[in-house]
């Protein structure tokens, strides 16, 4: 290493702008769940988000088809996520910003989802800042006691009795100690897009519930089962086999699906761009964003030239930020596994439910839909939110302690709101009691979560509110 390859930064005093019970880093679905859940449990809460709006992948990533609220299995399709996440969905639906039914995905308006997130945080009394990057945790004697943040005013600090890492990428977990892991291969990223001026099939409601033909028993679903299913936009028809043939001839980049969604009849949301890369490597992430935009135009060109109804369409918008499925994961007290998901495990310390399939997108250049395993609803243990060794810290959302298969299920947005809600409530209880999160009475946490209308056990689903529609 040459002398010019490093720069010495002199020590300096950093102003502390807040001293709170709970600091939540990241304002996506998990972060909103955590911040609102912590505030409703009586804690003082500060939330920081690095972009200009809340909602994460649901809004900034344009992942507008909300996944994980409902089980896919028939005839007993049930709602498995409520609490903060359920309220977010209902409030958005009331203002025309979402559909709420028993389908496999629920289309939304990201602008209205942002608005509801703002209102929920305000109503709960959460203090927050946008355009803030939390760079490093403050670690004292092996425990996180807050974070250093970078703002327009410069470097500042927030002290907290408990911090929740809801960054998705496990940024705080990774910089606090050794309680993290990253796979040798990572699921591809996606850059969703809106395509406008589409002539979709008449007489079909764009918001009609879409149902995968699975059940009543859990089991695998191959690509043909996916493509034969009732699509999220039944007014859009595409020959996926012909599209795969175009990819094989070198006329198209690698793609997924395509999967369609959206609330407007003539504006179709398209999820198909598939980019391999490591979103924790800034240069690789930059390359992925640029590649994603280029390939979005290529794939839209195919739709325009080959799919009925898209002849006069235009690519209206790509997502402000690329969608990330997998990066770092917590090494927790417990690790949820794919076998746990397939066995529909019911751990004693369950604090949320999952029901999305084991959905691991391929990294080998495969185009189209892929094989998934559709489970019965399963419990997510509190101990999968707790680092193996680091204190004062909890993980929520995509970076909880799960193996690669289980991550394929728990990474989706609705499940992230549920683990976030649990992490926030747990952080509040620990902070107010002056104990470490790992020492928390889980029964007390479960009682609080149930009071806040969260669903924790498959046994509760028989008596949960019936779905609309």
- Rounded Cα gap, residues 161 and 420, in angstroms: 17
Amino acid 451: pLDDT:
98
In this structure, of 134-148, 202-216, 239-253, 422-436, the range with the lowest mean pLDDT score is 202-216
97-127 pLDDT tens trace: 999 999 888 999 999 999 999 999 999 999 9
Amino acid 460: pLDDT:
86
Q: Counting beta carbons within 10 angstroms of the beta carbon of residue 294, is it exposed (0 to 12), middle (13 to 18) or buried (19 or more)?
A: middle
Q: What is the average per-residue pLDDT within 18-39?
A: 98
Residue 72: pLDDT above 80?
yes
Percent of the chain clearing pLDDT 90 (strictly above): 83
Domain boundaries along the sequence of the chain: 16-183+327-356+378-463, 193-318
Residue 242: pLDDT above 70?
yes
Cβ partners under 8 Å of residue 125, min gap 6 = 39, 45
Say if CB 192 and CB 271 are below 8 A apart: yes
CB atoms within 10 A of CB 1: 5
Amino acid 282: pLDDT:
96
Q: What is the average per-residue pLDDT within 303-323?
A: 97
- pLDDT band per the 50, 70, 90 thresholds, residue 446: very high
Q: What are phi and psi of 267, to 5 degrees?
A: -120, 115
Q: Counting beta carbons within 10 angstroms of the beta carbon of residue 242, is it exposed (0 to 12), middle (13 to 18) or buried (19 or more)?
A: exposed
Amino acid 212: pLDDT:
82
Could you tell me where the DSSP H helices lie in 177-326?
A: 223-227, 240-248, 282-306
Q: What is the average per-residue pLDDT within 211-222?
A: 85
The residue with greater pLDDT, 367 or 318, is 318
pTM over 0.85? The answer is: yes
CATH 3.40.50.300 assigned to domain 16-183+327-356+378-463? The reply is no
Average pLDDT, the chain: 94
Strand pairing partners for 24?
Answer: 47, 164
């Amino acid at each position: 290493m040459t002398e010019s390859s490093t720069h010495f930064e002199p020590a300096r005093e950093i102003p502390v702008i807040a001293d709170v019970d709970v600091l939540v880093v990241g304002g996506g679905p998990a972060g909103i769940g955590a911040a609102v859940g912590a505030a409703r449990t009586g804690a003082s809460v500060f939330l920081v988000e690095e972009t200009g709006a809340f909602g994460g992948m649901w809004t900034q990533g344009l992942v507008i088809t909300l996944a994980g609220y409902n089980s896919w299995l028939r005839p007993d399709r049930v709602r498995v996520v409520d609490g903060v996440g359920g309220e977010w969905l209902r409030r958005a639906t009331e203002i025309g910003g979402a559909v709420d039914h028993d389908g496999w995905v629920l289309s939304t308006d990201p602008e209205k989802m942002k608005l509801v997130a703002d209102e929920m945080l305000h109503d709960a009394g959460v203090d927050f800042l946008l355009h803030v990057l939390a760079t490093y945790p403050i670690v004292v004697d092996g425990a996180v006691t807050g974070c250093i943040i970078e703002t327009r005013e410069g470097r500042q600090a927030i002290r907290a009795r408990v911090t929740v890492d809801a960054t998705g990428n496990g940024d705080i977990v990774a910089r606090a100690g050794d309680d993290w892991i990253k796979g040798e291969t990572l699921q591809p990223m996606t850059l969703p897009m809106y395509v406008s001026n589409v002539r979709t099939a008449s007489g079909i409601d764009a918001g009609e519930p879409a149902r995968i033909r699975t059940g009543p028993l859990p089991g695998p679903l191959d690509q043909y089962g996916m493509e034969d299913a009732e699509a999220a936009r039944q007014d859009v028809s595409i020959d996926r086999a012909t599209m795969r043939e175009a990819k094989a001839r070198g006329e198209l980049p690698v793609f997924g699906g395509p999967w369609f969604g959206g609330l407007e009849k003539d504006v179709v949301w398209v999820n198909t761009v598939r980019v391999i890369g490591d979103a924790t490597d800034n240069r690789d992430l930059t390359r992925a964003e640029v590649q994603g935009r280029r390939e979005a135009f290529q794939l839209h060109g195919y739709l325009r030239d080959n799919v009925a109804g898209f002849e006069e369409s235009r690519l209206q918008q790509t997502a402000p930020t690329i969608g990330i499925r997998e990066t770092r994961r917590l090494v927790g007290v417990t690790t949820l596994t794919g076998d746990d998901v397939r066995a529909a495990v019911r751990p004693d310390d369950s604090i949320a439910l999952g029901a999305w399939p084991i959905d691991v997108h391929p990294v080998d250049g495969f185009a189209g839909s892929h094989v998934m395993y559709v489970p019965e609803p399963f419990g997510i243990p509190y101990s999968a939110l707790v680092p193996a060794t680091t204190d004062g810290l909890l993980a929520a959302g995509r970076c909880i302690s799960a193996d690669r298969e289980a991550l394929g299920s728990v990474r989706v947005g609705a499940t992230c709101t549920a683990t976030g809600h649990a992490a926030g409530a747990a952080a509040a209880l620990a902070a107010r009691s002056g104990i470490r999160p790992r020492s928390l009475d889980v029964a007390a946490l479960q009682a609080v979560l149930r009071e806040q209308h969260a669903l924790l056990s498959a046994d509760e689903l028989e008596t949960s509110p019936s779905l609309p529609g």
